[in-house]
Amino acid sequence: MKERFLGKIVLPGGPGSVPVARCCVGEILVAAGHKDVADVQLLVSELVSNAVAHTASQLSGGRIVVLIAELGPDMAHIEVIDEGADTVPRPRISEADDCTGRGLWLVSQLSAKWGVRASSPECGAVWVDVPTALTEPMVLVSDQA
């Protein structure tokens, strides 16, 4: 598949950037013809939230960069680049009563694939490929009248 670049968003590394990234990514994908961007927006929220909470992007002057591309008419490719951390992002097993810690598990469940890479010695990136084709809603039919 050939990747087609659609846009780049540069945001401050604070919590207010989460809804901005979510909205902008959705708008860019819809303008490019993608039909169902809800999962992409949810995953962008998770990845930007993680960058704000766990990386040097949260420090004064820190930034988060979101790259938006498509791998075809039904697949979005998103990359969230932060200012680096001491750890590598990976899903963890959360306890039932934990209020956090399910973001990367959700990424693994809703994406076609995802990964982590170092974009430079002081920056990290998490990328995700997410389907954007409309799917038929599930209809439950009862044989009881």
90 sits in which H/E element: none
Q: At what angle do helices 38-54 and 103-110 cross, to 10 degrees?
A: 150
Q: What angle do CA 116, 99, 53 make, to 5 degrees?
A: 45
Categorise residue 112: left if φ over 0, alpha if ψ from -120 to 50, beta otherwise: alpha
Q: Can you name the residues that pair with 5 across neighbouring β-strands? A: 69
Scanning 13-116, the segments in alpha helix (DSSP H) are 17-31, 38-54, 103-110
Convert the pLDDT of each residue in 77-117 to its tens digit: 999 999 988 777 666 666 666 555 567 888 999 999 999 98
> Closest by alpha carbon to 17, among 62, 59, 49, 43?
49
Q: How far apart are CA 96 and CA 114, in angstroms?
A: 25
Query: Hey, what's the torsion of the CAs at 53, 56, 62, 68, to 10 degrees?
Result: -70
Phi, psi of 63 (to 5 degrees): -135, 160
pLDDT in tens, the chain (145 residues): 689 999 999 999 999 999 999 999 999 999 999 999 999 999 999 999 999 999 999 999 999 999 999 999 999 999 999 998 877 766 666 666 655 556 788 899 999 999 998 766 678 899 999 999 987 666 667 666 5
Sign of CA dihedral 123, 26, 29, 44: positive
